[in-house]
Amino acid sequence: MKYTFYAMVLLFAAAQSASAEQPIQFANLPWGVTRAETKQSLVDEGFTFEKLDDDGDLMFSGIIPTLGERAVVVAYFAPDDKLVKVDVNIAPPDRRVLEVYRSVKESLTELYGQPTREVERFSYPYANVAGDVGREITAIRDGKAMIACLWGGHPPQDGLALDVTDQLLARVSYESARWSEELARRKKLANGF
């Protein structure tokens, strides 16, 4: 499982009132809830529990009602059984990934205000493909595009990121202020420390 800092959004939060002061959280899950509470809450939201992985993280699948798109949700936990991050991987048909990304970005902007950072860049030989959906998709798949935006995210702040992956997923990452500490711990373990 990759532990990169990218983020994606689930539009369950769209049911909440739009406010830049709104806490960054997925499906009304407050940071620090337990695995049991997270599992129950996401199942109640219509997601199917898939598995508990080797790191103690929970994986769910389901449909995001506001988009009608399939998604895989991964809830990450610290060793004290507290929720520290949620990734929402939205899997639209390839040609719709940018449309879904922009729709999710609009919803997140309504909730949290303008992104603090935004980039939509294509590298050679795709530098001039903006607006040509077929070539944009090829550039993304070839790893020659960076399409992302961030809200907050400077520790010790909660953060939110939305990006398009080279697997053509729209990924939303909700990260608590504790995530950077947990990520460092996981990297140490992976490196044998």
Q: pLDDT per residue over 51-89, tens digit each?
A: 999 999 999 999 998 889 999 999 999 999 999 999 999
Predicted pLDDT at 169 = 97
Residue 173: φ, ψ to 5°: -115, 120
Reference 152, options 171, 121, 175; nearest CA is 175
Q: What is the DSSP letter of 125?
A: T
- Residue 164 counted as domain residue: yes
What's the domain count of the chain? 1
- Residue 6 counted as domain residue: no
8 Å CB contact between 112 and 16: no
- Residue 4 counted as domain residue: no
Predicted pLDDT at 134 = 87
Predicted pLDDT at 154 = 64
Bridge-based pairing of strands 170-175 and 58-64 is unpaired
- Residue 31 counted as domain residue: yes
Domain carrying residue 49:
11-190
Predicted pLDDT at 12 = 29
Predicted pLDDT at 153 = 61
CA 75 – CA 3 distance, rounded (Å)? 12
CA 77 – CA 85 distance, rounded (Å)? 7
Reference 111, options 33, 190, 16, 192; nearest CA is 16
Q: Which residues, given as ranges, of the chain have pLDDT below 70?
A: 1-21, 153-156
What global pTM score does this model have? 0.85
Reference 162, options 83, 92, 103, 76; nearest CA is 103
Residue 193: CA count within 13 A, CB half-sphere: 6
- Residue 185 counted as domain residue: yes
Handedness of CA 9, 25, 64, 106 (dihedral sign): negative
